[in-house]
Amino acid sequence: MDAAVVTLSSCFGCSFEMLNLRKDLMEIFKRIDFVDFKLLREENKEKDYDVIFVEGGISRKDEIKKIKKLRKRSKTMVALGACACNGCVMTVKNYAEKAEEQVYGKNLYGSVPVTGINEYVKVDYYLRGCPFFRHELVSLAKSFLLKRVWREKSYSVCIDCRKNDKDCLLDRGVLCLGPISRAGCKAICPSNDHPCVGCRGLSEDKNLEEFFQRARKLSSKKEIKKKLEMYNLYEEIRGTEAWKKLR
């Protein structure tokens, strides 16, 4: 099985996280041939791939062309990390007035609003998080080799908090996005007394209206909006009735 890791606009954090797999990565290498992985290989082959892991979001016009070409050359495409999944923290540019001009002046380098790669191509699997979580990559790799369909978690981070026997941060007066954020991270942030920031995107079983009622008791709508913008959750929430009703 030929594979590739390709990077668009990002910090390379997910590529480095792959190296942190260590022994698990060595086992994966025995079965999956990463013919194109510029962080590791001196010589890379650009060809058709069985699976391609795409790190980074779309922030320039040339990246739109690149991701479409990569999609045509890959049987399976995986969005690797929050940037590829929904644009991640780079989407702060989308909410700032003339952000590109402030940084680059008149030369905008073909800048476009930041999005995840699924805005332009079909994505088969998502490895969410900032960075992605190692156990999910290992699980996905096993599914490839066994020719099974891999399914990500659809429920919220709160479920994992309960499994970890952790008290609810909302009950302690801390604005936590766990009730509306997708699980799979083993609730690593709330388990260490840090509120969830939604780096894995929205959960399928979210109850926005109930969450906003509780969140509004802790923060203003402006503060809630700012928190939702950090990992681009606001883009999906802004048009919902629950958000429109929030005062």
The reported pLDDT for the residue numbered 105 is 74
pTM flag (> 0.85) = yes
Distance CA 187, CA 153 (A): 12
What are the mean pLDDT values of the chain's consecutive 10-residue runs (247 residues total)? Answer: 93 90 82 87 87 95 96 97 94 82 75 94 97 92 91 95 93 96 95 96 95 96 95 94 94
Determine the Cα–Cα distance for residues 143 and 55; give it in Å rounded to an integer. 20
Same domain, 24 and 105: yes
Provide the domain limits for residue 34: 2-146
Residue 151 belongs to some domain of the structure: no
| Same domain, yes or no: 16 and 111 | yes
Tell me, what's the pLDDT at 111? 87
Type and span of the H or E element at 111: strand 111-115
Residue 103's pLDDT is 74
pLDDT score, position 64 = 97
State the DSSP code for 37.
Answer: E
Asked if residue 152 belongs to a domain, the reply is: no
pLDDT of res. 93: 85
18 neighbors 7 (Cβ within 8 angstroms): no
Q: Which two tokens stand for residue 81?
A: 């990390």
Same-domain status, 24 and 140:
yes
